[in-house]
Copies of this chain bind each other. A is one copy, B any other.
Amino acid sequence: MINFSINKNLFLQALNTTKRAISLKNAIPILSTVKIDVTNEGITLIGSNGQISIENFISIKNENAGLLVTSSGSILLEATFFINVVSSLPDVTLDFKEIEQKQIVLTSGKSEITLKGKDADQYPRIQEISASSPLVLETSVLKNIINETAFAASTQESRPILTGVHFVLTENKNLKTVATDSHRMSQKKIVLEKNGDNFDVVIPSRSLREFSAVFTDDIETVEIYFTNNQLLFRSENISFYTRLLEGNYPDTDRLIPTEFTSVVTFDNHNLRYAMERARLLSNATQNGTVKLEIINDVVSAHVNSPEVGRVNEEIDTESISGQDLTISFNPTYLIDSLKAINSEKVTISFISAVRPFTVVPNEDTENFIQLITPVRTN
């Protein structure tokens, strides 16, 4: 029966990381528990919602953990409740001792709390991924890619494949990532420093956002392993599994235009705040759009809500070329797009009032492109 003592704060941090895979309202009740596996090497905390699974290992060699294992075993505990109890303990150290009938006793300072656990055999097996040669990426690089694309994925289940981000590796080093909800698209390309085996997978955008939360900035690199229907992100102590989406991702390359009639460069923040003002009023209009006008090299934004009022605003430009144009679109798409761009200036290129326009940063122009589809008005 399990018996160990550990630093409370480090244990709590590991529990909270693991909890990111655990959802309170799961169709499978046992998945609301955290699984605690104790061996002579350390403790593994396991959480899963069926889509994502996280295994978090605390080694006896980790000096900050102050981990002393005197007896090994496995047990399941209600995750949220257990974490609340651990965080309420008075002392910096806690003793965790299993007693009869799957009960555990937590002792910390003068406090003694007995909790009812469940048999670890009830927990589903997490599919193991055989250790083939992984792709190795800097965590910060992968998190940037996620930041630049995942927001553009669909949140609607009507076309499930669009709820994911398409990751394609070709020529062993060219990584292309694309997300689209069919109204806007974001594509980021990078060239890997280390070669890897080619792949073509669609990763749920929700899993990617959780990945970004779980893999903190102190984790420098991440190994990525693939199987047919699963993917594993792994660092020294954390294994993050996610299911992949099945089906063919649409061909997005053909959507990207190459010839334009009007090209305007803006200050990113200037344009974003103008769009945020426009959105306040466009939210109260029927089609929810802002109208952008380019007339004689002056760009202005207009919204007219019969109920609430109107916005008219000239937007400063950094440079402008091409023809006059009037185009309407949902300002939220442009705001999201500008938020994802980490560059002071952005260039927007238009073809016509009914064709998608592109948004690119003024740095890294070649590799990061977004498309936004306009809305036909009148």
A residues near B (Cβ < 8 Å) are: 78, 81, 84-85, 88-90, 103, 110-116, 273-274, 276-277, 280-281, 307-316
B311 touches A111 (CB 8 A): yes
A115 touches B85 (CB 8 A): no
Question: What are 18 inter-chain pairs, A to B, with CB distance below 8 A?
Answer: A81-B280, A81-B308, A88-B276, A88-B280, A89-B277, A90-B274, A103-B309, A110-B314, A111-B274, A111-B311, A112-B313, A113-B309, A113-B312, A113-B313, A114-B309, A114-B312, A115-B309, A116-B309
A311 touches B113 (CB 8 A): yes
Q: How far is the CB of A189 from chain B (nearest CB, A)?
A: 34
Known: A88-B273, A280-B88. A111 touches B313 (CB 8 A): yes
Q: How far is the CB of A77 from chain B (nearest CB, A)?
A: 10
Inter-chain CA distance A113–B78, complex, in Å, is 53
Chain B residues positioned under 8 Å from A85 (CB to CB): 277, 280-281
A308 touches B112 (CB 8 A): no
Looking at A81, A89, A113, A114, the one whose CB has the most chain B CB atoms below 10 A away is: A113
Chain B residues positioned under 8 Å from A280 (CB to CB): 81, 84-85, 88
Chain B residues positioned under 8 Å from A114 (CB to CB): 309-312
Inter-chain CA distance A112–B312, complex, in Å, is 5
B113 touches A281 (CB 8 A): yes
A111 touches B308 (CB 8 A): no
Chain B residues positioned under 8 Å from A313 (CB to CB): 110-113
Looking at A277, A280, A281, A310, the one whose CB has the most chain B CB atoms below 10 A away is: A277
- List 7 other contacts, CB 8 Å, given A88-B280, A110-B315, A113-B310: A84-B280, A89-B277, A111-B277, A113-B312, A114-B310, A115-B308, A116-B307
Looking at A274, A276, A311, the one whose CB has the most chain B CB atoms below 10 A away is: A311
Q: How far is the CB of A286 from chain B (nearest CB, A)?
A: 16
Inter-chain CA distance A281–B81, complex, in Å, is 9
Q: How far is the CB of A305 from chain B (nearest CB, A)?
A: 9
B90 touches A273 (CB 8 A): yes
Inter-chain CA distance A315–B90, complex, in Å, is 11
Inter-chain CA distance A314–B90, complex, in Å, is 12
Q: How far is the CB of A198 from chain B (nearest CB, A)?
A: 47
Chain B residues positioned under 8 Å from A84 (CB to CB): 280
Known: A273-B88, A280-B85. A316 touches B110 (CB 8 A): yes
Inter-chain CA distance A167–B81, complex, in Å, is 41
Q: How far is the CB of A3 from chain B (nearest CB, A)?
A: 17
Q: How far is the CB of A107 from chain B (nearest CB, A)?
A: 10
Closest to A77 in B: B309
Inter-chain CA distance A78–B103, complex, in Å, is 57
Chain B residues positioned under 8 Å from A316 (CB to CB): 110
B81 touches A311 (CB 8 A): no
Chain B residues positioned under 8 Å from A111 (CB to CB): 274, 277, 311, 313
Chain B residues positioned under 8 Å from A276 (CB to CB): 88
In the complex, the 3 A-B pairs of residues with the closest C-beta atoms, listed nearest first: A115-B309, A110-B314, A111-B313
Chain B residues positioned under 8 Å from A315 (CB to CB): 110
Chain B residues positioned under 8 Å from A307 (CB to CB): 116
Q: How far is the CB of A179 from chain B (nearest CB, A)?
A: 28
Closest to A273 in B: B90
Closest to A117 in B: B309
Closest to A279 in B: B88
Chain B residues positioned under 8 Å from A116 (CB to CB): 307-309
Closest to A90 in B: B273
Q: How far is the CB of A90 from chain B (nearest CB, A)?
A: 6
Inter-chain CA distance A307–B118, complex, in Å, is 12
